[in-house]
Amino acid sequence: MRTFEFRAWDKRKHTYRTADTLFDSVFITPRGKVRVLEDGDIDTDDLSDMIDIETYTGIRDSSEKKKKIFEGDIVHFKSEMISGLGIVKWNEKTGAWEIDDIRPRTKKRGHRIYPFYPEAAYRVDGNVHENPELLEAKK
């Protein structure tokens, strides 16, 4: 059985937290609302404005550390056919992980979104929260 892993960006403290350091339990409703269980009671307030939940893709990068690649990571990828730099995102329509290219493009080529390629090498350069300078440098 596949298990799901998440990380949580605490917007108030500007740091990644594990669910057990935030509350007793964090869960997401079928409608995408973030709820918590504290002292056996369910808090009905939506906490989406306080934390960003980011999902593990199930893919590790090609570095020696074999870092886990999460939603919101900024990754460099390279294969025999293509290379790019972008943000890892989930596409609801296709049901797949994609890399939203952040490199500058000419008007002729336009914006690109790439699927994860099994044969490509990936390197996590940072993430959108802790490394916003990576996004600015590529504009």
Average pLDDT over residues 121-139: 86
- pLDDT given at position 21: 59
Q: Where are the alpha helices (DSSP H) in the chain?
A: 19-22, 132-137
Computed over every residue of the chain, the mean pLDDT equals: 78
pLDDT in tens, 70-127: 999 999 988 888 888 889 998 888 888 998 888 776 444 555 677 777 778 999 999 9
Under DSSP, is residue 37 helix (H, G, I), strand (E, B) or coil?
A: strand
- pLDDT given at position 12: 81
Under DSSP, is residue 45 helix (H, G, I), strand (E, B) or coil?
A: coil
What's this model's pTM, rounded to 2 decimal places?
0.78
Tell which wins on pLDDT, 22 or 57: 57
Give the burial string for 85-117 (b: 16+ CB within 10 Å, else e): bbbbbeeeeeeebbbebbeeeeeeeeeeebebe
